[in-house]
Amino acid sequence: MQDNKPTSNPPQPLAGLRVVEFTHMVMGPTCGMVLADMGAEVIKVEPIDGDRTRRLLGAGSGFFPLFNRNKKSIGIDLHDAAGVEVARKLCASADVVAENFKPGTMAKYGLDYATLSAANPRVIYVSHKGFLPGPYDHRTALDEVVQMMGGLAYMTGRPGDPLRAGTSVNDIMGGLFGAIGALGALIQRGISGKGMEVQSALYENNVFLMGQHMLQYAMTGKHPAPMPARDNPWAVYDVFTVKGGEQIFLAAVSDAQWQTFCTVLGFDDLKGDAALATNNQRVGVRPALLKDLAERLATRSAAELSSLMEKAGLPFAPIRKPEDLFDDEHLLATGGLADVRLPDGPKAGQTVKTTLFPITMQGQRLGVRLHPPTLGEHTQELLAGLGYSAGDIENLRQQAAVS
């Protein structure tokens, strides 16, 4: 059992709910993490040698410890008949089963919705796929694939230079939508007594994110320009390079903010210029105005500008890197970061800070109850709960049906 103790007792609205997840990478594990953070018992079924996400390097090295906290781990060999029987017994005890494998994979093991729901009509089955059923559903999808084909990379990069977003946006949001669907299905089950299948998909998630630009085109008849070249509705809404090469985002999105902006920075000549009195006038001369402002701000430090903007109530943001967030005073003061123990890799056993689900319930953040599990950490406990004797469990281990 884990020794991590919560520093408070936030609500656990899903306490008593059992979730069994057959997931890997980011999308499916995000769904399970959300349900786990809200109090559900989430059981992560891993291959006998462990979720390969545990062994990813580079940009993937943070996947497992971030998306698998508050979960229990059991290793099961689904290629072994005894292992499949264990998995089916687990699913029979579940309120929710979640998976994110290729279409048809779960059916090979009798772990698909049709099979499980025949034995357990109350089960809610959440499938996370690349595409919802249709002409594309046979394709192999990745976050980057759907960003490219779904318009996000086009909108993020400069013209002619499509660029994926700087995080696994579709994987994470696809998992969130899966969790939302599961919560809706749970409410319906409370009414009807029956479960249902829920599907979430990377491509459709990405298209949903593009909806605002699709409707922009429908409304204006103009092709939406990539964000770096967009028709900006505000004149002062940009990143400026300032003293020492630091960068800061500054904005003035109303005429009143423009007046304040000029006042706090001592730009009285700009404040009194009738040709710059309204936002639309400023937008009309935006390139020249931004060049002028860049020259005026080049000798000011980011810290000085941040202080002035904050006191004046103006929008601003120093440009920071992910590692800077570990020392963010707001996150530290509000409990937005929590300790987790790393389960794998060269730093296994070390405690680091992780980000929490970005909501409060009754004024409290939903914390870490269980560290990200080591492979098979809860196998003994879970099998015993299913009625397996100590001898049964040892036999399953000996034949490598479980780990």
Buried b (16+ CB within 10 A) or exposed e, 342-354: bbbeeeeeeeeeb
Q: Is the pLDDT of residue 345 over 80?
A: yes
Q: Is the pLDDT of residue 4 over 80?
A: no
pLDDT of residue 5: 44
pLDDT of residue 9: 83
Q: Are 149 and 203 in contact (CB under 8 A)?
A: yes
**Average pLDDT of 132-148?**
96
Q: What is the pLDDT of residues 85-98, one digit of tens each?
A: 999 999 999 999 99
Q: What is the pLDDT of residues 204-263, one digit of tens each?
A: 999 999 999 999 999 999 999 999 988 888 999 999 999 999 999 999 999 999 999 999
Instruction: Give the pLDDT band of residue 2 (cuts 50, 70, 90).
Output: very low
Q: What is the pLDDT of residues 363-375, one digit of tens each?
A: 999 999 999 999 9
Q: Are 354 and 66 in contact (CB under 8 A)?
A: yes
Question: Percent of the chain scored above 90 by pLDDT?
Answer: 96
Instruction: Give the pLDDT band of residue 8 (cuts 50, 70, 90).
Output: low
| Domains in the chain: ranges and CATH | 18-210+335-398 (3.40.50.10540), 233-322 (3.30.1540.10)
**Average pLDDT of 358-363?**
95
Q: Are 162 and 148 in contact (CB under 8 A)?
A: yes
pLDDT of residue 7: 44
Q: Is the pLDDT of residue 1 over 90?
A: no
pLDDT of residue 230: 86
Angle subtended by helix axes 202-209 and 169-192, to nearest 10:
100
Q: What is the pLDDT of residues 291-342, one digit of tens each?
A: 999 999 999 999 999 999 999 999 999 999 999 999 999 999 999 999 999 9
Q: Going by DSSP bridges, is the β-strand pair 41-46/18-22 parallel, antiparallel, or unpaired?
A: parallel
**Average pLDDT of 132-139?**
96
Mean pLDDT of the chain: 96
